[in-house]
Amino acid sequence: MGGTIPAASSRILFPNSPSSVSRLSPHHLLSRFNNTTLGQSHTVTPGIQCAAVGSVATSPETIPDVKRKKNEFEIENLTTWLLKQEQDGIIDAELTIVLSSISLACKRIASLLQRSSISNLTGGQGTINVQGEDQKKLDVISNELDQAKQKCVVSVCQPGSNLLAAGYCLYSSSVVFTLSTGKGVFAFTLDPTFGEFVLTHADIKIPRSGKIYSFNEGNHDLWDDNLKRYLHHLRQPGPNGKPYSGRYIGCLGEIHRMLLYGGIYGNPKNKNSKKGNLRLLYECAPMSYLVEQAGGKATDGNQRILDIQPTEVHQRTPIFIGSPVEVEKLEKYLA
């Protein structure tokens, strides 16, 4: 076959021999040995010594690019990431076990969701929770997965500033487990082939400002006048001639979108819900922790969410959360 054999980027060195064999395909190696008579200096002794040898085809300028491209294809899963966090002293072994167990529960829930229509797991359960709300079948099952082996007594009425970690699992066309242990925000996507959460978004930083607002404007007439003026401002054309875009679905997906693209989400108090609708301990505080770790802000309109001292487990609070510039703008209207 004609043509020139490309130079290799590394070679295998045989002991006591100045010669080397290029790291080529078996076909190239066979062709080379068939055309070369091995002399005494090429005698192979038991074992080989491997060493990197400079190649005339690899210029020093391209080496950083090669390393960079290699790093782009490295895959890190949640388990190895947690172990690194533990080795660095960011979390302890107990928290590693807790977070690993939570991720396992998320995988089981994801599996149930994929079969929910087949297994008749959609719709209402026909029961009422402690807040007087209708329970969904998947809510009940998820709660059972979380509490199956839970036997402990803890004091949970603490401000969010005491949190060691926070996260959420988003179930959609892909399953995304977003987590912070106090050193940034990281998102892991479930690889269905191997059943592993793989790191896909490292050290997420929320944009300082955004052009999306998420409020349930069906309650507009129940809000106070300052908040109405703020929303009126958002609907006016800005310097670019366009107003803010309104997006509201009333679920966790809005927090996920906001982390990636910026903006502001609000669930304010109103004449019918004077303390707001969302729960402080297990909805507002964890999300506020995540958003602050990503560089955002969260407030109830008067104070930082993470500074609120809870007085009861199911305590509710208003919340405004998102890009720092957008939250600060809102605070000026509410002041």
pLDDT tens digits for range 313-328: 999 999 999 999 999 9
- For residue 7, the number of C-alpha atoms closer than 13 Å in the C-beta half-sphere is 8
For the segment(s) 78-200, the CATH number from 3.40.1110.10, 3.40.190.10, 3.30.540.10, 2.40.50.140 is 3.30.540.10
Q: Is 324 left (phi over 0), alpha (psi -120 to 50) or beta?
A: alpha
Quick one: tokens of 58? Answer: 């690899």
pLDDT digits (tens, 9 = 90+) for 110-128: 988 887 666 665 655 556 6
May I ask the CATH class of domain 212-334? alpha beta
Whether the per-residue pLDDT at 32 is higher than 50: the answer is no
Confidence class for position 238, pLDDT limits 50, 70, 90: confident
Confidence class for position 48, pLDDT limits 50, 70, 90: very low
User: 212 has which bridge partners?
Assistant: 245
High-pLDDT (> 70) share of the chain, %: 67
Quick one: tokens of 104? Answer: 């396992």
Question: CATH 3.30.540.10 region(s) of the chain?
Answer: 78-200
In this prediction, residues 33-48 reach a mean pLDDT of: 46
pLDDT digits (tens, 9 = 90+) for 218-237: 999 999 999 999 999 999 99
Quick one: tokens of 225? Answer: 């006048």
Please state which of the ranges 52-56, 121-125, 189-193, 297-301 shows the lowest mean pLDDT: 52-56
Average pLDDT of the chain is: 80
Question: CATH 3.40.190.80 region(s) of the chain?
Answer: 212-334
Quote the radius of gyration of the chain (alpha carbons, Å): 29
